[in-house]
Amino acid sequence: MAAVDAAAFQAFTDRLLARLEREEDVLGLVGLGSTSGLPPAPDAFSDHDLFLVVRPGAQERYRAGLDWLPDAEALALTFRETAHGVKALYASGHLVELAVFDPDELGLARVNRYRVLLDRADVAARLERVRLATVAELSGRTPPGEGWRAGMLLTALVVAGGRAARGEALSGHALLRSALEHLVALLASRLGPPERAQLDPLDPMRRVERALPEAGRALDAALRLPVPAAARALLEVLLRERPELVGAPARAAVERALAGAERAIAR
């Protein structure tokens, strides 16, 4: 994405707000993520993430026509992502991700970081209820057991190696990313509250490098390798950080499977 400095990022938000304040059907504007103004601050690669709240019946007009966005003539790509959400990509590379709701539809959303930029319909109170519902939903989930996660991780490494040995490297890489999610969850479970707070509860793969800098570097390096070598590298991170989760027979079995995959690929 093209660099957008903090001043330009804020200027875009200000211009959008000024335009929407003139729209009678607009009841609220909410900045999410980097657009919320809450840390971490936006950087050169931040998108604008927005909720637009409009009068009932006006939602589709604002989803289908994006002339209300600043510099709409410079949009290079727009498409409907979900029933409520739209993505808009500018020629500069700047991305806007937005969803349009009426006040009652806000209850369908899930939020963590947000800031109400315009409120003509009790939007702040509604969003606070949405935030509390999101927290309750996340805290009410029973997390998978660590034994299950470790098993899913180890078997994904084995299957990934086998897929690569059959010439299905892309499928193997996809499985490695599935294994990575389990591995990150196992590493994150040992973090203290300050480090865990750096992760995004709605997307646990966000900001892993900040919460787990050493492991984050190792995981990134692993994913740059061919499938069997990457699988070995992920296994090494697990063995280094959470050795109690891998029994000797399981470790030997995974290593044997990966060695077989490497021999098949080398033929």
Please, which pLDDT band fits residue 140 given cuts at 50, 70 and 90?
low
Mean pLDDT confidence for 93-119: 91
Sheet holding 114-119, edge to edge: 75-80, 85-90, 95-101, 48-54, 26-32, 114-119
- When pLDDT is cut at 50, 70 and 90, the band that residue 119 belongs to is very high
pLDDT at 4: 54
**Residue written as tokens 């969803």?**
99
Rounded Cα gap, residues 86 and 107, in angstroms: 18
Name the helix (H) or strand (E) containing 229.
Answer: helix 227-241
| pLDDT classification of 259: cutoffs 50, 70, 90 | very high
Sign (positive or negative) of CA dihedral 224, 147, 210, 200: positive
Confidence of residue 42 (pLDDT cuts 50, 70, 90): confident
Residue 51 pLDDT greater than 90, yes or no:
yes
Comparing 63-67, 74-78, 110-114, 189-193, the range with the smallest average pLDDT is 189-193
Mean pLDDT throughout 9-24?
A: 95
Residue 48 bridge partners (DSSP): 96
What single DSSP character describes residue 164?
H
Beta-bridge partner residues of 85: 99
Beta bridge partners of 31: 50, 115
Distances from the Cα of 135 to the Cαs of 16, 130, 169, in angstroms? 29, 9, 38
Q: Give the pLDDT mean for 23-43.
A: 90
Residue type for position 43: D
Region 85-106: mean pLDDT is: 93
Whether residue 169 contacts residue 162, with contact meaning beta carbons closer than 8 Å, is answered with: no
The two three-digit tokens of residue 182, written as one number: 């389990």
Instruction: Name the token pair of 41.
Output: 């601050």
Residue 229 has pLDDT above 50, yes or no: yes
- According to the model, what pLDDT value does residue 141 have? 66
pLDDT tens-place string over residues 158-179: 999 999 999 999 999 999 999 9
Q: Exposed, middle or buried: residue 253 (CB in 10 Å: 0-12, 13-18, 19+)?
A: middle
- The residue-averaged pLDDT of 134-157 equals 82
The pTM for the full model equals 0.69
pLDDT at 22 over 50: yes
CA-based nearest residue to 50, from 90, 12, 91: 12
- Confidence at residue 87, expressed as pLDDT on a 0 to 100 scale: 92
Mean pLDDT, rounded, for 121-147: 82
Task: Give phi and psi for 44, each to the nearest 5.
Answer: -65, -10
Q: What six digits make up the tokens of 16?
A: 């959008």
- Name the least confident of 193-197, 212-216, 231-235: 193-197
pLDDT of residue 163: 93
Check whether 1 has a pLDDT greater than 70: no
pLDDT tops 80 at residue 124: yes
13, two tokens: 């938000």
- The proportion of the chain whose per-residue pLDDT surpasses 90, expressed as a percent, equals 63
How many residues does this entry show for the chain?
267
Average model confidence (pLDDT) across the chain = 89
Phi, psi of 51 (to 5 degrees): -110, 130
Q: Is the predicted pLDDT of residue 80 greater than 60, yes or no?
A: yes
Give pLDDT, residue 262. Answer: 93
